[in-house]
Structure 1
Amino acid sequence: MEAANAKRLQNQVAIVTGASSGIGQGIAIRLGQHGANVVVNYHSDDEGAQATKDQIEAAGGKALVIKADVSKEEEVEAMFQTALDTFGTLDILVNNAGIQKDAALVDMTLDQWNKVIGTNLTGPFLCARAASKIFLKQGIRKEVSRAAGKIIFISSVHDIIPWAGHVNYATSKGGVAMMMKTMAQELAPQGIRVNSISPGAIKTDINKEDWSSREGEEKMLSQIPYGRIGEPDDIARVAAWLASDEADYVAGATIYVDGGMTLFPSFAE
């Protein structure tokens, strides 16, 4: 089945935010492997962004690296314009960029709050707005897709599970959940599909301290009924499917890719 669908995104153009590492990098590479031309967005990791580009091109795809802070309106607008100038169209947006600034509520600064909300909530809004304008203007490109555009939010199991010590992060992801549903309801009649993927525990640099030691790994595994920690490609495979016509009747859905963590929400406290 994988081989049969190897190029299911052929000649489509995707923007993946936060694609220099972790889940975003995995998604960008996977979309490229399926034939998409990929805009690799990043904020600070030059080397990681270049590595993503190199892997996409090694798989036979085309990639464009664009440095932009998704919380800044002018940088988002410039990124989308550059993507259009380069590839001429846009078919897929993956809103992946996200950060954590952890602290107990009584110690959390306004700057920690604002930075997380800016990147995790305002950023996806700005990018989805920019993408939607393009999708509505160009309409359905029937030669490549049945939809006028696809927007995929990368959220978290903490869009439904509270997380003490991370009120800014959990709040941002809860906001993403409702933003996705509202946008899906508004845009579906225009042929634009909007969905979310909510990862559980995934092995990335952002949580390396939690799984790199045996004690940390065992604690994490105790929260996952399926018995293993996820990899970025677990999320990437679902993203590629959501972006394809195989998921053409999927709109306004949240897919929890978490090994069953949300079956027992107390596990993730």
Structure 2
Amino acid sequence: MSGERGALALVGRGTPLDRAVAVWWAERHGPLALATIDPTSEQEYALASIANEAWAIGRPQVVERIDAAHAASITAFASEVFDRFGTCAVLVVNAGQRSEAPLVELSADEWAAVLRTNLTVPFLALQAFGRLMLREGRGVAAAILPPLDSGDAAMAAARAGLIEVVRRMDEAWGEQGVRVIAVEAADPEALVAVLADALERTAKGS
């Protein structure tokens, strides 16, 4: 277990990818702060299982059951992370909601739900944590991109929007020490490599 570099905050569902990234951080760097996408027991339990692994190796951790699509909830979570751990070195947002309905059957409600989860949630999380990272002049905020393997028009629209949001944020904040990146939902080792590289570049100011 290496020395602490600040917390990693993860907003997700407790997927295997979430677990791999969180355990990597706990083993190598520092504490974990985990929050649900939706305020469900299933997501809370999945994240608590991840937190238990951090506890087992002696890292501080916290799990919050929130509705990440509500600005007040995600803003409060960001504030809690900084208050509790002093700083947040990395944010990872892994929303990932699909709609398998054919285009001709895709309802307005399904369309709105997919965009809410895959675009609104990452935007609000990046914004909330970005504000606090900017105060410190450092940080990496990463959004996991929705995959394009399902032919899902709503997910494709969310993905395109998220790529543009991330690009604009990185342009606005990069020179102030905060990197914002969009990452493909790849295997855990690839994601860890991208995050480690972004951290190194941020530390060097490049």
TM over 0.5: yes
Closer, same or farther: CA 116–38 of 1 in aligned 2, 3 Å:
same
Q: Give the letter aligned to residue 19 of structure 2.
A: Q
**Residue in structure 2 matching 1:41, options 25, 31, 35:** 35
1:81-230 → structure 2 map (5 Å cutoff) = 81-139=79-137, 148-158=138-148, 163-164=150-151, 166-200=152-186, 230=187
Which residue of 2 is the match for residue 27 of structure 1?
21
CA shift, 1:12, in A, is 1.3
Residue correspondences, number: 202
TM normalised by structure 2 equals: 0.87
- Please give the secondary structure, in 2, of the residue aligned with 1:39: strand
CA shift, 1:54, in A, is 0.6
Q: CA offsets per residue over residues 75-100 of structure 1, 9 Å max, x none?
A: 11121122123212222111212211
RMSD of equivalent CA atoms: 2.3
Normalized per residue, which structure has more helix? 2
1:67-82 → structure 2 map (5 Å cutoff) = 67-82=65-80
Q: Which runs of 4+ in 1 moved over 3 A?
A: 246-251
Q: Give the letter aligned to residue 58 of structure 1.
A: A
Higher-Rg structure is: 1
Contact 1:13 1:37 in 2 (8 A): yes
Unaligned 5+ segments in structure 1 are 1-5, 140-147, 201-229, 252-269
Q: Return the alpha-carbon distance in structure 2 between the equivalents of residues 149 and 90 of structure 1.
A: 7
Which residue of 2 is the match for residue 244 of structure 1?
199
Contact 1:19 1:25 in 2 (8 A): no
Contact 1:151 1:195 in 2 (8 A): yes
Contact 1:69 1:76 in 2 (8 A): yes
CA shift, 1:116, in A, is 1.1
Unaligned 5+ segments in structure 2 are none
Q: Give the letter aligned to residue 21 of structure 1.
A: T
CA shift, 1:236, in A, is 4.3
Which residue of 1 is the match for residue 189 of structure 2?
234
CA shift, 1:240, in A, is 4.0
Which residue of 2 is the match for residue 13 of structure 1?
7
Q: Return the alpha-carbon distance in structure 2 between the equivalents of residues 249 and 173 of structure 1.
A: 30
TM normalised by structure 1 equals: 0.68
Closer, same or farther: CA 46–136 of 1 in aligned 2, 3 Å:
closer
